[in-house]
Structure 1
Amino acid sequence: MSRSNVLSAVFGATLSLALLASAPVFAGGTHGGGHAPNIGKPGDPAKVSRTIEVVMYDNYYEPKSLDLKEGETVRFVVKNAGEFVHEFNIATAAMHEAHRPEMMMMVEHGVLEPDRINQEAAKAMQASMGHGMHKEGNSVLLEPGKSGEIVWTFPDDADLEFACNVPGHYETGMHGKVKLSH
């Protein structure tokens, strides 16, 4: 079996599990409502207190959790060392749950393939739906072997985690806790 066929088979199985696991989310029809919690904001690169390297594998991150200070500005250098497209996204658990259906839509429209981001499909999705690839300061979406960077200033007193919201990835363990201290 070729590498492409293996990747497609694994991605298909993962996608099937994600559909089963996310069924209550779709049935619920809610994203929590109300105002979004304070998860922090894009940081000023001149105010970075430290750089943390994050490596994404196919079902986990290294490091597995982050110990940070409230108000700290951190540069994350993120590398995808896996075989699949992965995301590093800083948010609350509820925000990740609400984001996963959008990522599923990107798979359904051919934007997210197992091992690549189809930019032509992203343009077509944007043109037809007004929604496609998005650039947010708290997130980076990377193909295998690619690297990216986020500079983020963390809030006071927040319950955050980092996660990959590509369908099925969160469910297989691609999430970690952000521990904030004074």
Structure 2
Amino acid sequence: MFLQPTFWMHCMFKIKNVLATLALGGLCASAWSTPAAAPMASMPGMGSMPGMASMSQGQAMPQPAVPGNPVSVGGPGTASAVSRTIRILADDRMRFSPDVVHVKPGETVRIVVVNQGHLRHELTIGTQSELEEHAKMMATMPDMPNGKEPNMVAVAPQGQGELIWRFGQPGTVPFACTMPGHMQQGMIGRFIVD
């Protein structure tokens, strides 16, 4: 059985991210503590990682998306901590309903996405730049198999899917459908953490 080229591209993308993370961990102890160390963007492969090209020596690493971090979008939650279920409809008009949802800081919710359309849709949670980057990647690999990412749920036509998410500090947390062209046509929304 032969796998589609997009599957291999997806695998290589994942491997590159894992290797870059491992390499970065080793560099933290040596490169950043040495005054003569090269800037992160000049290190092989680091300039192409989102957010790394502009990072200079001695600059703090971006904080992971975890609850309690004021710049965080939150993180995966556990089923035992779910306080309520939020149902979000997706349709072929390229809209979510509701497209604005209020949650509390630290709240863990089950997000059920119901696809009422005839096209595949997804709901991905992230910063605006992460969503835009993912949409670009999806545009180059529209047949990419659905990865089991904790911040996204892909839903087949007339189907439904869910994810569990724990929100962090007060603020706005964007979500979007990053299927090719969907976000650009307005399939976006936001969680208001207040």
Aligned to 2:134: 99
Give the AA of the match of 1:65.
Answer: V
Aligned to 1:179: 192
RMSD, matched Cα: 1.8
CA radius of gyration, larger in: 2
Shift of residue 30, structure 1, vs aligned partner: 6.8
User: Which of 121, 139, 142 lines up with 1:86 in the alignment?
Assistant: 121
Give aligned-pair identity as a percent: 36
What whole-Å deviation, never above 9, does each CA across 1:106-139 have from its counterpart, x for those lacking one?
22xxx16xxxxxxxxx4xxxxxxxxxx4211110
Are 2:97 and 1:65 equivalent residues in the alignment? no
Aligned to 2:89: 55
Corresponding residue pairs, total: 131
Are 2:159 and 1:146 equivalent residues in the alignment? yes
8 Å contact 1:32–1:94 — kept in the other structure? no
Relative to structure 1, the CA distance from residue 30 to residue 46 in structure 2 (aligned partners, 3 Å threshold; closer, same or farther) is closer
Q: Distance in 2 between matches of 1:139 and 1:39?
A: 13
Q: Name the TM-score, length of structure 1 as normaliser.
A: 0.66
| Structure 1: gaps of 5 or more residues | 1-28, 113-121, 123-132
Are 2:50 and 1:31 equivalent residues in the alignment? yes
**Higher helix proportion (structure 1 or 2):** 1
Give the AA of the match of 1:31.
Answer: P
| Structure 2: gaps of 5 or more residues | 1-47, 53-60, 66-71
Aligned to 2:79: 45
SS in 2 for 1:159: strand
1:104-119 superposed matches below 5 A:
104-107=139-142, 111=143
Q: Distance in 1 between matches of 2:165 and 2:49?
A: 28
**Larger RCO (alpha carbons 8 Å, 6+ apart):** 1
8 Å contact 1:55–1:80 — kept in the other structure? yes
Q: Distance in 2 between matches of 1:174 and 1:30?
A: 26
8 Å contact 1:92–1:159 — kept in the other structure? no
Q: Distance in 1 between matches of 2:188 and 2:102?
A: 14
User: Which of 174, 178, 186 lines up with 1:161 in the alignment?
Assistant: 174
8 Å contact 2:124–2:177 — kept in the other structure? yes
Q: Distance in 2 between matches of 1:68 and 1:45?
A: 17
Shift of residue 90, structure 1, vs aligned partner: 1.1
8 Å contact 2:170–2:192 — kept in the other structure? no
